[in-house]
Amino acid sequence: MSRTAALSAASAGAPLEATTIETRELRDDDVLIDVKFAGICHSDIHQVREEWGPAIFPMVPGHEIAGVVSAVGSGVTKYQVGDRVGVGCMVDSCGECAYCKDGEEQFCTKGAVMTYNGEGYDGEKTKGGYSQAVVVSERFALRIPDALDLDVAAPLLCAGITTYNPLKRWGAGPGKKVAVVGMGGLGHMGVKFAAALGAEVTVLSRSLAKQEDARAFGATDHRSTAEEQTFEDLKGSFDLILNTVSANLPVDAYLSLLKPLGAMVNVGAPSDPDTFAAFSLIGGSKVLAGSNIGGIAQTQEMLDFAAEHGIGATIETISADQVNEAYEKVVSSGVRYRYVIDTATIGA
Ligand code: NAP
Ligand code: ZN
């Protein structure tokens, strides 16, 4: 065991403070990662503030991790010291159930072990990437291609895979019209990936403030959802709506924007329930769906696709002492478009 500097919240809603934590002895299949950058996902804020129900404290959040392998266990075959790697939302799964065998570890029947606010199969409480080091099984480390800098790669480990997965599953590509609702951390990655996959992309945001950025990310249209006219103009327009909003939305109004047979996929995870009318779906045989991160194999596919298309996150790099302020800015949608912590500044 060794100690490493980390940012930890003592209790629900408490500020993140620098402390030291223990990392476990390397098991045979473990890699020790020298964490360089950690993205701030809105899910970190939901969990630190216990907006999704009881959480485990003290909590070291962070599931958008990019760094360099600094040691390997005796049985590690996939990585060597010096390799550039990332870790996303999961650090373990049973490896034996049908979902794990199918590369959908997030649905592991034993329960995938989450990177933080989780418990390993040995009872160890997991701690995330707002830290200078993490230890994970090599099965849950991803290779970050050389074409991607580590800072812009970090957010791909959650925001990237969470948007890439449903875009692929629901057929975003040439000839398809895709709307991305909310252009924050997930949303801006959704725009970049949908455009790179060949779809025609519209951003639906609460104002027009981000429209130049939306076009730079590959959108061809950007509309304000504060204007009722938007819902009139775009009625029946989209094959796919990717909802990345962290708050509740008037779902029926968005469903009206789908073409018949179209799908609205929610990745945004507000704590209160949404409501919708059955006829909003029935009339056009529409689909209202959800999507949960993505498996390890697809996360690697997404990283390789991002490298090939020159896609990284658009980030603001911050030091450890700016994290609490950054949380407020994420909540008020002031981030452009992902905060990434330079972990070298923790405890410095
Ligand atoms: P974020 O950076 O805060 O972006 C959310 C965006 O939603 C904002 O930029 C804003 O876009 C819009 N928004 C915020 N409040 C709103 C409101 N009251 N009404 C309408 N629009 C609003 O958050 P994120 O990190 O992208 O995460 C988004 C959500 O996805 C969170 O709930 C997070 O927990 C969830 N998530 C889910 C998964 C999964 O596997 N399903 C994975 C990761 C995260 P505009 O300013 O453009 O309107
Ligand atoms: Zn996340």
Q: Model confidence over 285-322: pLDDT tens digits?
A: 999 999 999 999 999 999 999 999 999 999 999 999 99
The contacts of residue 94 (CB under 8 Å, 6+ apart) are: 100, 108, 109, 110
Dist CA 99 CA 315 (whole Å): 33
| Structure tokens, 165 | 């997965």
Q: Model confidence over 124-133: pLDDT tens digits?
A: 999 999 999 9
Q: Is 244 in the pocket of ligand 1 (CB under 6 A)?
A: yes
Dist CA 321 CA 307 (whole Å): 31
User: For residue 96, how far is its CA from the centre of ligand 2 (angstroms)?
Assistant: 25
pLDDT for the residue 198: 98
Asked if 218 and 196 touch (Cβ cutoff 8 Å), the reply is: yes
pLDDT for the residue 348: 67
Provide the CB-side half-sphere exposure for 45 (13 A, CA).
22
Asked if 6 and 19 touch (Cβ cutoff 8 Å), the reply is: yes
Dist CA 231 CA 284 (whole Å): 17
Please give the mean pLDDT across all residues of the chain.
97
pLDDT for the residue 347: 87
Whole-model pTM over 0.85: yes
Dist CA 208 CA 199 (whole Å): 21
User: For residue 61, how far is its CA from the centre of ligand 2 (angstroms)?
Assistant: 10
Pocket perturbation via mutation, ligand 1, pick of 246, 248, 249, 267 by most ligand atoms within 8 A of CB: 246
User: For residue 42, how far is its CA from the centre of ligand 2 (angstroms)?
Assistant: 6
Edge-to-edge strand ranges of the sheet holding 177-181: 221-224, 200-205, 177-181, 238-243, 258-266, 287-290
Q: Which residues neighbour ligand 2 (ion) by CB within 5 Å?
A: 41, 43, 158
pLDDT for the residue 2: 87
Closest ligand to Cα 254: 1
Taking 50 as the pLDDT cut, the residues of the chain under it are none
